[in-house]
Amino acid sequence: MEPFEFVRDCWYVAGLSREFRTNELTGHVIAGQSLVIWRTGDGKVVAFDNRCCHKRFPLSEGRVLPNGTLECAYHGLCYDARGVCVKIPSHPGSPIPPQARVKAFPVVEQDGMVWVWAGSPERVAKFTPPRTPEVGDHAWESLDSGPMHVPANSLLLIENLLDITHFYPLHDGNIGDYANSQLDIELIEGEADGYRFVKTRRHAENYTQPPYFVDWFHYEVVDREHTHCMVSPGLTRVELHVAPPGKLGTDEERGYVLLHTHTPIDARNHVWRWIVSCKAHHMSRGDPAKSAARRIAEMFPEVVDQDRWALEKQQHMFELPDNGYTELFLKPDKALRRARQILAQMQHEERHGAPAKPATAPMPAAATSQA
């Protein structure tokens, strides 16, 4: 079994639409590819190889001229919105070589998010960026964390998001408790937009909510539906629905949609964003003057910091030789195991053109390469 690093052939979130301002260059590394991304004067977001075709200087350090061309800060080569070089100051009156251009990468802007494909051009038609309809819908209030650099393999975050048995003890006292670890887990699998997804469902009745959920959603004892879905290698969707016992599906139901984007930089680093969406008219209990979404956005970073701490500690341990160590999979880990297998199969297909059939769940690259 080859080590898991990251899936390259995937639509990944580069940022939210509002983060890309007209003619402002931004530099990114997505799935090992350095990119320069910006919004052109006609409103279109474009992405190109960040290396100038002349001397590899990062184009994101340049500027957009008044005529809309991107000027490299090193030797002044200028590129149009197609990535074609249209000016070389040191070649006055000479024809521009046809190879003087930078590679363009597909971009899709939808639902207030900018998705970039940094993978194989031949496979882009097989996949579609997932929809996130709540973002930008006026019936919902959506707030986000902004980009967070995490020095850990993106697979570790996906596993963390699918596994809420860690709510105790890691999040005990805010969103977690001991009882949460004992809830039955239903595993659901399928395919959408070209991706194989894995989803967990936890249904609870007469459940006493941890403190933060009471603060956000009012009720102390609830019936609850909680789902976590790895929609693609770049997106995990979490839905929480709570209501007084017997009232799920009525006007008394509350909850959120919590989107997590995980964009790999390389095998040991990724960018994490979370976006919380609540019905716009829902107010919090902890501060009745604040909406539920606003209250969550203020309090959720404490939970995220606990997860980041755990991910960084895990990644550090993966850097050490295995020396005979193997992970123990528990009964609630079925979704984690399937996520590893699905991502490893996607990586294998990219490299070899045929799906693999792993008998065991692969480890992140740093761990497996040491075995």
For β-strands 269-279 and 45-49, DSSP reports them as unpaired
Q: Check pLDDT > 90 for residue 9.
A: yes
**Residues in CB range of 156: below 8 A, 6 or more apart:** 311, 314, 315, 364
Structure confidence by residue, pLDDT tens digits, 151-200: 999 999 999 999 989 999 999 999 999 988 888 999 999 999 999 999 99
Helices (H), 231-321: 292-318
pLDDT at 356: 55
What six digits make up the tokens of 164? 């809420």
List, in order of start, the domains of the chain with CATH numbers.
11-126 (2.102.10.10), 140-318 (3.90.380.10)
pLDDT at 355: 62
What six digits make up the tokens of 20? 């890309």
Determine the Cα–Cα distance for residues 107 and 30; give it in Å rounded to an integer. Answer: 13
Side-by-side strand order, sheet with 70-71: 63-64, 70-71, 78-79, 85-87
AA identity, residue 366: A
| Least trusted range by pLDDT, from 1-15, 109-123, 140-154 | 1-15
**Residues in CB range of 158: below 8 A, 6 or more apart:** 230, 233, 236, 262, 339, 343
Packing angle of the helix pair 154-162, 292-318 (nearest 10 deg): 130
Element (H, E) at 312: helix 292-318
Residue that is written with structure tokens 């039955």 in the block: 184
pLDDT at 351: 86
Residue 329 carries which DSSP code?
P
Element (H, E) at 211: helix 211-217
pTM of the model: 0.93
AA identity, residue 235: L
Cis before 169 (ω within 30): yes
Residue that is written with structure tokens 């606003």 in the block: 294
Nearest to 208 by CA among 245, 258, 248: 245
Residue 201 carries which DSSP code?
E
pLDDT at 366: 59
Structure confidence by residue, pLDDT tens digits, 22-39: 999 999 999 999 999 999
